[in-house]
């Protein structure tokens, strides 16, 4: 615990004096702290840049892939049909009719107060002939429904009120059995009895019970291509979505109709243009960020003089190299043709522009060449971005790691200075405290000598 040692004898303000001396002693530590502040600012800016470049690398690589520019639109002539075109779609037009929709099977039992068998044992036979036995814990219809729902047979059971028994007045219920999926493959048959009973032919088909009914038959959805012609061809699907009408095209139907539906697939020039524009926008975001962090700012200090402050990236060669490589990747010729032919140009202030009109004209005239050029530019950008931002070997990544190591070392030195300065302050406090003690002793000796001299003077005069 430190104590104030202001000079009681010397009259010196020793606390202030020690503080001033400690400020001088702390100058090297202050310089280290300033370096940490500058390095931390630099690291934060570099991390932001690295995130932007890594995102660009991912987006550019996706655009460079075959699917990146293989964009198509799909349109249909009916509001009850939707279509989307994906990778591998082929431009063209085709007509079809929607014959029927896919549906699940729904079967209901007759009205019951409880299950007629004890124990309640049922066998479900799937469309492919596989069987599965379900046994309920009691003849309660609720227990039978619960057992079916837990059995994983692909069928859900629901207990539905069915009025009162006219003879007894008891509440009657039906069990509604519904296939979990649509399509013919989801069809099922239910028997009262075990699989062995089914094989032996002694099990009772549930539909043969009084009042039981098949409410809805499981069926596939069906389209007919070129309906009414000699080439008519049926296409089926277990759901209302078809993926085999045209390559890369998904068709979903919501209503049956005999009126022909026209499906048209075309190259998505707008989508490709938007993808190119997005690439340019991401690049400009990076170039703008770098430019802002490289800018040198001027100001005025307290004395009215001019101050000059460098940006975080002003003299950093790693950032400068990454910036140049990204710029080269986007503006370098492709097979001797300038990207400006496709609407991608560089401005005098280091920005890249995208001319949608020029791009639209180019892709209309030669779509394959434009898509190939865009894929090439995207791959070059992805490569340059990966060189800079790879999480293991990227130049920006390793620069950040190096600077973080420097900050760690500087903080260790600052901590050492904390100890050194604390020791120095303690030494100064002891030194000035001892000085006061010595001055007090000298003052006491001076007072004693003065008294002795005074006594000698008095003895001589007498």
d(Cα 186, Cα 156) in Å, to the nearest integer? Answer: 12
Report how far residue 348's alpha carbon sits from residue 166's, in angstroms, rounded to the nearest whole number: 93
| Residue 417: per-residue pLDDT | 76
Interval 193-201 mean pLDDT? 97
The helix/strand count (H/E) of the chain reads as 10, 20
Q: What's the per-residue H, E or C state across 351-392? A: CEEECHHHHHHHHHHCHHHHHHHHHHHHHHHHHHHHHHHCCC
**Taking 70 as the threshold, does the pLDDT of residue 255 lie above it?**
yes
Over residues 339-359, the mean pLDDT reads 93
Per-residue pLDDT, 62: 96
More confident residue, 299 or 372: 372
Q: Which of 211-220, 307-316, 442-451 has the lowest mean pLDDT?
A: 442-451
Q: What is the pLDDT of residue 236?
A: 97
The mean pLDDT value for 103-124 works out to: 96
Find the mean pLDDT for residues 96-103: 97
Q: What is the pTM of this model?
A: 0.71
What's the CA gap between 42 and 397, in Å, rounded? 13
Tell me the average pLDDT across 233-257.
96
Least confident of 249-253, 363-367, 403-407, 435-439: 435-439
Mean pLDDT of 404-430: 81
Instruction: Report the distance separating Cα 385 and Cα 399, nearest Å.
Output: 15
Q: Whole-number mean pLDDT of the chain?
A: 90
Confidence of residue 458 (pLDDT cuts 50, 70, 90): low
């Amino acid at each position: 615990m430190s104590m104030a040692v202001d000079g009681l004898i010397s009259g010196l303000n020793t606390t202030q004096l020690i503080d001033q001396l400690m400020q001088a002693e702390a100058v090297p530590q202050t310089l280290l702290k300033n370096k940490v502040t500058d390095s931390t600012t630099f690291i934060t800016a570099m991390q932001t840049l690295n995130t932007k470049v890594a995102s660009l690398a991912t987006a550019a690589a996706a655009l460079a892939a075959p699917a990146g520019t293989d964009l198509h639109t799909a349109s249909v002539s009916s509001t009850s049909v939707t279509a989307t075109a994906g990778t591998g779609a082929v431009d063209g037009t085709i007509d079809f009719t929607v014959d029927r929709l896919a549906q699940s099977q729904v079967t209901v039992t007759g009205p019951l107060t409880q299950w007629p068998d004890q124990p309640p044992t049922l066998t479900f036979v799937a469309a492919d002939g596989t069987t599965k036995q379900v046994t309920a814990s009691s003849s309660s219809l609720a227990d039978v429904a619960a057992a079916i729902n837990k059995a994983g047979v692909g069928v859900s059971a629901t207990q539905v009120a069915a009025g009162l028994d006219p003879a007894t007045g008891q509440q009657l219920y039906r069990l509604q059995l519904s296939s979990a999926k649509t399509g013919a493959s989801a069809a099922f048959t239910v028997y009262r009895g075990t699989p062995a009973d089914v094989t032996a032919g002694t099990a009772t088909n549930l539909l043969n019970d009084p009042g039981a009914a098949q409410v809805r038959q499981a069926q596939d959805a069906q389209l007919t291509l070129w309906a009414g012609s000699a080439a008519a061809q049926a296409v089926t699907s277990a759901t209302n979505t078809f993926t085999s009408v045209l390559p890369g095209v998904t068709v979903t139907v919501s209503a049956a109709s005999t009126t022909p539906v026209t499906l048209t697939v075309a190259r998505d020039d707008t989508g490709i243009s938007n993808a190119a524009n997005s690439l340019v926008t991401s690049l400009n975001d990076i170039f703008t960020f770098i430019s802002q962090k490289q800018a040198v700012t001027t100001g005025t200090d307290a004395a009215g003089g001019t101050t000059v402050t460098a940006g975080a990236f002003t003299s950093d060669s790693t950032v400068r190299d990454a910036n140049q490589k990204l710029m080269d990747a986007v503006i370098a010729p492709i097979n001797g043709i300038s990207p400006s032919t496709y609407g991608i140009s560089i401005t005098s202030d280091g920005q890249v522009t995208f001319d949608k009109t020029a791009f639209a004209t180019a892709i209309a005239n030669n779509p394959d060449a434009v898509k190939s050029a865009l894929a090439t530019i995207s791959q070059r950008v992805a490569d340059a971005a990966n060189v800079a931002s790879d999480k293991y070997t990227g130049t920006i990544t390793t620069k950040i790691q190096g600077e973080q190591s420097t900050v760690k070392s500087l903080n260790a030195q600052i901590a050492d200075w904390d100890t050194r300065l604390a020791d120095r302050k303690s030494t100064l406090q002891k030194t000035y405290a001892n000085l006061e003690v010595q001055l007090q002793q000298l003052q006491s000796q001076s007072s004693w000598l003065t008294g002795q001299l005074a006594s000698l003077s008095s003895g001589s005069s007498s």
